[in-house]
Amino acid sequence: MARTNGGGGGDEKFCKEYLVLKPEDGGYPNLFHLLFSPNVEHSKFVDSPAGTEIHGIRRRWLLVVSVTLQKILLSLGKPMFWIGLVIETFLNTNIVEFFANLFRGKMPLPDKNSATFTSFIGHLDSRVDLDKKIEVGSSKYYGALSAMAAKLSYENEASVKTVVTDHWKMKFLKFYDSWNDYQGKATTQAFMFQDKAEDPELVVVAFRGTEPFDADAWITDLDISWYDLSCLGKVHGGFMKALGLIKGEGWPQKFNRTGSDQRLLAYYTLRDELREILGKNENAKVIVTGHSLGGALAILFPTVLAFHKEDDWMLKRFEGVYTFGQPRVGDEKLGEYMKEQLRINDIKYFRYVYCNDMVPRLPYDDKSLLFKHFGTCLYFNSRYEGKVVDEEPNKNYFNIFRTIPKMLNAVYELFRSFFIGYWRGPEYSEGWFLILVRVIGVMIPGLSAHCPRDYVNITRIGSLTP
């Protein structure tokens, strides 16, 4: 993507080649300089080594789009929060009571930290129980458990604990609200549980994906900054920052906050917790999972462990990484590196992709961005028929010739909503809220296909097993 002429000059001294976007550091007029000048190191929006040049207006145009969208999201953070609050209040309140309170000018808010509070994502799929037809040890078990854990990660701590303990009959370990050094706030959530209270055989780490009204999470997704980390290759900067990249330091092997600064970084916190659990339970294996952004963090977690070679023993305790609707996380070199690490440590990596879901097709896999998927792709169509492929069809999503077929497929998914409960059983019935989202999905094909509900379905009734 970029050519450097040597030297230093940026703030990220831990890395020789990098390109970090800083949307907050310039005004909209500065976008013209970024678009028309190949010397991006002089742009207020870019932190890069001295002499960094990007030739080709298409490449710079993608940077401009990324910066512009991030700037818009920075200004919309509070409005998005309040819109989400109103919608979730409506969804978590009796309809008659909601409108009565609205008419009286009073709107008592439900407790977002209550075990009975359900997120926007949770209202698209209210199922909390594991599929009893999928037994422990069956070929579908890990995938089905991972999909439910990835979906559950969108809920608050009390709700997560209740489901894991009371419905799954497993041991809830901890919920993590982790710091992002670059955004200066806690933006990354994950939770951990194990299959048994004593002598566990399985420990699961589930990362939360992008919440619909969380501007910070969307900024992470749209931040196409990258870091070229020695043996790893180029890695998506937004995902690195969310996982716990330390500003100005990168990924030091050992890191502890000192003094009054006790802000927790996801990677280091989870690594240390797993190290302790695995040290005490020699038979325990690890699964890492996540949906959307959570899927990106799930595969990057063992990537950084591999980068820290001192933790190789932990990788050998990984049973697998299961991601759902995961975006691309790096370039071809990263993919080759991780393929070898997964092979050496006998780690399964299954990347589930449902039909026209747009997120696994981003960021672009083309000569402008060079992002590449790796691992085993389990692709399922809208009839939940699966196959193993190297790459999902229509790999970059935006293809004018596929627009009409995608819209027709979205119409089928909407039609399916009214009958799937009769076809597959009552637990697959879809409520009015999901049907509304599927209507929007007809206008924006691939949007509703990203919902965790379809990913839970394909792990339960899909024709393909890992």
> pLDDT band for position 6 (50/70/90)?
very low
CB atoms within 10 A of CB 434: 21
Pair type for strands 17-21 and 46-47: antiparallel
- Find the mean pLDDT for residues 407-431: 94
7 pLDDT higher than 80: no
The residue type found at 78 is K
State the pLDDT at residue 121. 96
The lowest-confidence range among 144-153, 235-244, 275-284, 396-405 is 396-405
The lowest-confidence range among 190-204, 263-277, 362-376 is 362-376
Return all residues near 401 (Cβ < 8 A) that are at least 6 apart: none
Helical H segments across 133-214, by residue range? 141-152, 157-162
Task: Give me the sign of the Cα torsion angle 130, 416, 122, 398.
Answer: positive
State the pLDDT at residue 119. 95
62 and 84 Cβ atoms separated by less than 8 Å:
no
The lowest-confidence range among 102-106, 123-127, 152-156 is 102-106
CB atoms within 10 A of CB 355: 24
- Find the mean pLDDT for residues 88-110: 76
- Find the mean pLDDT for residues 266-275: 95
Q: Which of 113, 115, 89 is nearest to 102 (CA)?
A: 89
Within its chain, how far is the Cα of 230 from the centroid?
Answer: 24
State the pLDDT at residue 422. 93
9 pLDDT higher than 50: no
CB atoms within 10 A of CB 262: 9
The torsion defined by the Cα of 67, 73, 76 and 80, in degrees rounded to 10, comes to: 170
- Find the mean pLDDT for residues 108-126: 90
Alpha carbons 278 and 200: distance in angstroms, whole number:
10
Residue 74 is assigned to a structural domain of this protein: no
State the pLDDT at residue 450. 96
| Neighbouring-strand partners of residue 187 | none
Q: HSE, CB side, 13 Å, CA atoms: give it for residue 145.
A: 27
Alpha carbons 70 and 66: distance in angstroms, whole number:
6
For the annotated catalytic residues, the residue numbers are 292, 357, 450
Residue 44 is assigned to a structural domain of this protein: no
H or E stretch including 242? helix 237-243
| Joined tokens for residue 40 | 């991006």
State the pLDDT at residue 366. 78
State the pLDDT at residue 261. 60
Print the domain residue range for 251. 122-400+452-464
State the pLDDT at residue 452. 97
99 pLDDT higher than 90: no
> pLDDT band for position 3 (50/70/90)?
very low
- Find the mean pLDDT for residues 139-159: 97
Within its chain, how far is the Cα of 337 from the centroid?
Answer: 21
Task: Give me the sign of the Cα torsion angle 25, 27, 31, 32.
Answer: negative
Within its chain, how far is the Cα of 401 from the centroid?
Answer: 28
Q: Which of 198, 379, 177, 196 is nearest to 262 (CA)?
A: 177
> Domain holding 380: CATH number?
3.40.50.1820
Alpha carbons 334 and 337: distance in angstroms, whole number:
5
Alpha carbons 14 and 291: distance in angstroms, whole number:
30
Residue 35 is assigned to a structural domain of this protein: no
State the pLDDT at residue 335. 95
Grouping H, G, I as helix, E, B as strand and the rest as coil, residue 295 is helix
Mean pLDDT of the chain: 90
466 pLDDT higher than 90: no
Residue 25 is assigned to a structural domain of this protein: no
Residue 102 is assigned to a structural domain of this protein: no
391 pLDDT higher than 80: yes
Residue 349 is assigned to a structural domain of this protein: yes
The label of the residue with tokens 């009958």 reads 419
Residue 339 is assigned to a structural domain of this protein: yes
Alpha carbons 193 and 189: distance in angstroms, whole number:
14
| DSSP letter (8 states) at residue 254 | S
Grouping H, G, I as helix, E, B as strand and the rest as coil, residue 162 is helix
Helix, strand, coil percentages (3-state) for the chain, rounded to 5, are: 45, 15, 40
- Find the mean pLDDT for residues 358-373: 86
State the pLDDT at residue 186. 92
11 pLDDT higher than 80: no
97 pLDDT higher than 80: no
State the pLDDT at residue 370. 78
- Find the mean pLDDT for residues 74-80: 93
| Joined tokens for residue 110 | 């439900």
The verdict on whether omega for the bond into residue 363 sits within 30 degrees of 0, i.e. cis, is yes
Alpha carbons 379 and 390: distance in angstroms, whole number:
9
262 pLDDT higher than 80: no
Residue 178 is assigned to a structural domain of this protein: yes
160 pLDDT higher than 50: yes
CB contact burial 69-105 (16+ within 10 A = b; e otherwise): bbbebeeeeeebeeebeeebbebbbeeeebeeeeeee
Number of domains in the chain: 1
81 pLDDT higher than 50: yes
Which pTM value belongs to this model? 0.93
State the pLDDT at residue 332. 93
pLDDT single digits (tens) 322-348: 999 999 999 999 999 999 999 999 999
Q: Which of 234, 239, 181 is nearest to 207 (CA)?
A: 239
> pLDDT band for position 4 (50/70/90)?
very low
Neighbour order of strands in the sheet with 46-47: 46-47, 17-21, 226-229, 233-236
State the pLDDT at residue 254. 84
207 pLDDT higher than 60: yes
| Joined tokens for residue 460 | 């339960």
State the pLDDT at residue 232. 87
Q: What percent of the chain has pLDDT over 70?
A: 95
